[in-house]
Amino acid sequence: MNIPINQFEQIIDETILKRGLDYFRKGLVEEPEELSPGLYEAIVQGSEPYRVSITIKNEVITDYSCTCPYDFGPVCKHVVSLLFALQGDSMGIRVRGKKTSAAPKQKSEKKAGPKTVKEQVDEILSKLSVEALEGFIREQSLADPAFRRRFLAEFTSSIKGESKSVYAQQVKSILQSAKGRGGFIEWNRAASVSKAVYGLLSSAKKHLEMKNYQTAMLISCAVLEEMVKALQFADDSDGDIGGCVEAAVETLGQAAASKLPEEQRKWLFDYAATAFQKKLFDGWDWHMGIVRLAAEVTQEKQEAELLLKLLESVPHSEYEADRAREMVLLILRKSGQDEEADAYMARHLKDPSIREQAIKQAMELGDLKKAGDLARQGILQDKKDKPGLANQWVDWLLKIALEQKDREAAVTHARYLFGQFNRDHRQYYKILKTQVDESEWPAFVDKLIKDIAGKDSWSDTHMLAWLCIQEERWKQLLQTISQHLTLNGIKEYEPYLAKLYPEELAGLYKHGILELLERGTGRNHYQEAARFVRRMKKIGEVKQAEEFVKQLKQKYPQRRALLEELEKV
């Protein structure tokens, strides 16, 4: 999300804000560096050193990242601590014990800012001799394994004898350095392995962008093979090892989708077909993924025949059988065997992906009747045992109705899908808005609201609230949240109601707070109650909030912790 730099403390969660400020005041943020215009980086000392970066454009934070594992919200305390480091002077905040100058700087006194890291590096390189630079690289390569691996990954392609084994050895050394007793990699070391291997994959992506396809594929294949092996002697609870495998497969997929020179295309086909035949990744999803790579780059009929024989000779699970059928169809198309592909498609319409391809093909050919028949057959086939899949075929009927400009059918299908669980109701709302006559729209929405309100589930309540917001039916929104939602649910919709219904909204908060205090005791409950009393004040119901505080003190005179929290309101 974009955050104005001078308003970040008003937007970021209060708890995270306090923790970040505490980190900054304790001096745990190293001096920030401007790597390039607007891109700042610093090391923040947490439970371990974390690298934090923030990008600022036109006084707005457009991007930020941190190497910590925090995933409970959009911004972690380490990012916030760097924000305070960047804005501390203007906010009058400083590190504890750090003295400021006797007289504050006047805003009019503008000095040229320090050079960015890029500018400093460029200046040094412009004056540095080749011999000095070579000496530094040699020294760093011997002393720093991470630097050595990155250097070799970047530039091994410039020498003769480049091979997969060169890069495989680099991956092996990373894995070896992380092994503990018994040659096992514990879960807390897997992250460091992932970080180092991603450095190699980053080089592979760079080579791919530069059209150095062979190098990109050699690095990716080396990572793929060695990291799959590593799953046998590593605790991958956090998915660090598997994530590297996925990234390697993704890079190979990007290579396959490129216009590869014939030599590289043939190399990738042979590698993928051989890996499948030798079952290098058997037992993992990547086993079928690797043969798909071969299918993607298939061009010759002889290649197609080889892959078809391989797919027929290997027993598959039900899931793998579905994927195998997809690949057979892809191989037939890629090798120019369109008649065989059409016949194969007709024989395997029970496979959802093949039925979908058949519908797409019919629509591309302009045969909307056939496309509709295929979709309706899919509904009949799947509505009993696979209702979610049946809804997918209804979605295709909607697309066909829109293509045919059949407004009545489009409204019927969009209205049905709007109310279905796990469907994107926003897109169906937009379609309904364009297909229903403007004069009929208010009555249509009334019926829509009535139908959704009758379902009374959590997801339907939020869908109804969303619809009320789109239609600006604020009284209906107030009624909806008052009947169904908890304190946090009310807070979510407060911005839409605070100006029009502050008294009613405060009443809902009161009711929710009383229920909260009846359900449980403890400091956490009391702090939450106090937060919502503050919200009553924030929307302008100060008097009602103060009266409510008095009521609570009289009702719970023995709850000392509650009284303490109410005193802070």
Does residue 386 carry a pLDDT above 50?
yes
Task: Please give the structure tokens belonging to residue 536.
Answer: 């009553």
Higher-pLDDT residue of 99 and 8 is 8
pLDDT score, position 255: 96
The answer as to whether 337 is a domain residue is no
Give the contacts of 327 (CB within 8 A, at least 6 positions apart): 288, 291, 292, 295, 307, 311
Rounded distance, CA 82 to CA 86, Å? 6
Q: Are 465 and 480 members of one domain?
A: yes
pLDDT score, position 471: 95
The answer as to whether 560 is a domain residue is yes
Confidence of residue 549 (pLDDT cuts 50, 70, 90): very high
Confidence of residue 111 (pLDDT cuts 50, 70, 90): very low
pTM (two decimals): 0.61
Q: Are 150 and 47 members of one domain?
A: no
Domain end position, chosen among 75, 96, 117: 96
Q: Are 459 and 515 members of one domain?
A: no
The answer as to whether 89 is a domain residue is yes
pLDDT score, position 71: 64
Count of structural domains within the chain = 4
Residue 35: phi, psi to the nearest 5?
-70, -40
Rounded distance, CA 206 to CA 141, Å? 20
Domain end position, chosen among 233, 258, 283: 258
Confidence of residue 98 (pLDDT cuts 50, 70, 90): low
The answer as to whether 390 is a domain residue is no
| Segments forming the whole domain that contains residue 12 | 3-96
The answer as to whether 377 is a domain residue is no
Residue-wise pLDDT tens digits, 508-523: 999 999 999 998 888 8
Q: Are 169 and 91 members of one domain?
A: no
Rounded distance, CA 263 to CA 270, Å? 11
Which span out of 88-92, 298-302, 419-423 was modeled with the highest average pLDDT?
298-302
Q: Are 145 and 253 members of one domain?
A: yes
Residue-wise pLDDT tens digits, 166-197: 899 889 989 988 898 789 999 888 988 998 89
pLDDT score, position 106: 39
The answer as to whether 64 is a domain residue is yes
Average pLDDT on 436-453 reads 93
Cα–Cα–Cα angle for 86, 91, 92, rounded to 5 degrees: 110
Higher-pLDDT residue of 118 and 512 is 512
Q: Are 567 and 466 members of one domain?
A: no
Confidence of residue 3 (pLDDT cuts 50, 70, 90): confident
- For the residues of 409-469, what is the DSSP string, one character each? HHHHHHHHHHTSTTS-HHHHHHHHHHHS-GGGHHHHHHHHHHHHHTT--HHHHHHHHHHHH
The answer as to whether 149 is a domain residue is yes
Q: Are 467 and 492 members of one domain?
A: no
Confidence of residue 119 (pLDDT cuts 50, 70, 90): confident
The answer as to whether 556 is a domain residue is yes
Burial 306-328 (b: 16+ CB within 10 A, else e): bbbebbeebeeeeeeebbbbbbb
Task: Please give the structure tokens belonging to residue 236.
Answer: 């991958």
Lowest model confidence (mean pLDDT) among 37-46, 120-129, 394-403, 431-440? 120-129
pLDDT score, position 368: 97
Confidence of residue 1 (pLDDT cuts 50, 70, 90): low
Q: Are 253 and 147 members of one domain?
A: yes
Average pLDDT on 292-309 reads 91
Rounded distance, CA 227 to CA 234, Å? 10
Q: Are 536 and 459 members of one domain?
A: no
Q: Which of 69, 380, 438 is nearest to 237 (CA)?
A: 69
Q: What is the spatial order of strands in the sheet that 60-66 belongs to?
A: 3-4, 60-66, 49-57, 39-45, 33-36
Q: Are 478 and 517 members of one domain?
A: no
Sign, CA dihedral 43-46-50-55, equals negative
Does residue 140 carry a pLDDT above 90?
no
For the chain, give the mean pLDDT: 88
Lowest model confidence (mean pLDDT) among 8-22, 108-122, 178-192, 264-278? 108-122
Cα–Cα–Cα angle for 219, 223, 227, rounded to 5 degrees: 175
Domain end position, chosen among 96, 123, 157: 96
Q: 281 and 223 in contact (C-beta within 8 Å)?
A: no
Rounded distance, CA 22 to CA 12, Å? 15
Residue-wise pLDDT tens digits, 194-240: 988 998 999 999 999 999 999 999 999 999 999 999 999 999 998 99
Confidence of residue 145 (pLDDT cuts 50, 70, 90): confident
Rounded distance, CA 569 to CA 564, Å? 9
Q: Are 470 and 533 members of one domain?
A: no
Q: Are 151 and 237 members of one domain?
A: yes
Does residue 34 carry a pLDDT above 50?
yes
Does residue 136 carry a pLDDT above 80?
yes
